[in-house]
Structure 1
Amino acid sequence: MKILLWSVGKNNDPYVKPGIDDFTRRITRYFPCEWELIAPPKNATKKNEGEGILQKLTKDDYLVALDERGKQMTSEGLAQFLQARANTGGKNLVFLIGGVYGLDESVLARADYRWSLSQLTLPHQLVRLVLTEQLYRACTILRNEKYHHA
């Protein structure tokens, strides 16, 4: 299984880039993992951003849409989720962070899972950092490594 981290928006700001890069590198010890920043189209709307995202997905991709109305889970729950996805033998597990206006309903309808990181409103840059840290934490939980203290 390969983990693909997609985010609609601009490049990482200097205050979060080192953390995102570090946790992404750590995740690759467990699963192949890569980021793709998706530039919003000119005169972006949720609809045309959504169309572009849907074109990028393959039918076999398992899409996790980060959405404020999604389900929340604990770090241990995320670890179980990752393990379950790895056990299915699927090719790509795609985590998607929408643009400034969120994700279009067409993308949410295509999503296999809708996940809310928090009830708080978080800046997109910070969501990228929290997402990578939590995925790394989940990987260490699966291997019973010392990073996570429960």
Structure 2
Amino acid sequence: MGVMRAFSSTVTFVTLAIATGCSGTGGTTTAPDGSETVSLSVEHRTEWRQLWIQGTTDLPDGAFLNYSVTHEVAESSPPDEWPATNLLESGRATVKDGQFWSTVNTLNWPNGNVRVLIQFPFPPQPPPIESRYGPLGEHLTGENVTTVSGMKAVEVEHHFEHRR
């Protein structure tokens, strides 16, 4: 078996809508006006030829998080010159017990910088999640909220150097 290398850097964004907000289920802060803040962190680890994207959140069980993983070669070379077909990978992870994770095969990846982007609440979401945060994130507030294609979203980025 290969040697396990763990590179971990946690980026945590925690915001409060107001200092006197009451705690909603799962630890998410709910302000009196129905606005929601979300805590979201992401890190990675590599084992053998697998990249594990994992993190913690105060989102309720069943919420879907979108992720994208981009190797620097994917941004500087046309796809037909890539040493692997998955240097740009995306998918969804489901929250369970305050955690989420997914894996990406890195078999033919070259050394280089990698960016991981986690986003919430891109549709579709389960009905209870959609009603709580809004179909387009209308109820989200806080410093980690951005606007993407006309909707509000929580985004967290994580960067690391991939080594074989």
**Interval of TM-score (by shorter of Structure 1 and Structure 2):** under 0.3
Flag the structure with higher helix content.
1
Flag the structure with higher strand content.
2
Question: TM-score w.r.t. structure 1 length?
Answer: 0.27
Structure ranking higher on relative contact order (CA contacts 8 Å, 6+ apart) = 1
